[in-house]
Amino acid sequence: MRSICVFCGSSAGAKPAYEAAAQSLGHYLAKQNISLVYGGARVGLMGTIADALLEAGGHVTGVLPKALQELEIAHPDIQKLHIVKSMHERKAMMAQLSDGFITLPGGIGTLEELFEVWTWGQLGYHNKPLGFLNVENYFDPLLEFIDHMVTERFLKAENQSMLAIAKQPQELIELMQAYKPPRVSKIIHKEEI
């Protein structure tokens, strides 16, 4: 993997561990010569991870909708900033520029980004790995709900297995590098229930 797209909060969250994890991931990506693709902002965990990569000599590409640039949240120091017209264009470009996706703690926008690229992977639009950096067990309730989706037969276990989950950046990157996309139908047929 040469580039990783990171989805994360535009705020820092309630715990210092969230910022520490964003810094740790940024430093690790730079050390592995993996560039960052992200939302282009200088605020919250988004700004933290970009700053960490820059501090460690890494390369950062941001993709920011024009409306957010006008709110003056664009990161001024990243090497490349793409300005796009919409959130849809932003997500499509981030996916195109990335070899995989990592989700850090964040809000509904962060989860929406993850679920969209996971859906694209499930449908076979890409074969890129997806991972959660599960800082302070932030994603445990969501992961339990995903288990519930499998139990209730709205998600196949093979599609659930598309998500790599780890607490440390190195472990997560190793899981993602070993990723093999499942070859299953998205549809759960009546006879499978």
Gap between the Cα atoms of 175 and 190, Å rounded: 33
Q: Crossing angle of helices 16-31/44-55, nearest 10°?
A: 40
pLDDT in tens, the chain (193 residues): 999 999 999 999 999 999 999 999 999 999 999 999 999 999 999 999 999 999 999 999 999 999 888 776 899 999 999 999 999 999 999 999 999 999 999 999 999 999 999 999 999 999 999 999 999 999 999 999 999 999 999 999 999 999 999 999 999 999 999 999 988 666 666 666 5
CATH label of the domain that carries residue 137: 3.40.50.450
pLDDT digits (tens, 9 = 90+) for 173-183: 999 999 999 88
DSSP characters over 81-95: EEEESSHHHHHHHHH
Q: Which domain holds residue 156?
A: 3-192
Report the DSSP beta bridge partners of residue 10: none
> If residue 103 lies in a helix (H) or strand (E), which one and from where to where?
strand 101-103
Gap between the Cα atoms of 168 and 137, Å rounded: 12
**pTM given for the model:** 0.93
Work out how many domains the chain is built from and give that number.
Answer: 1
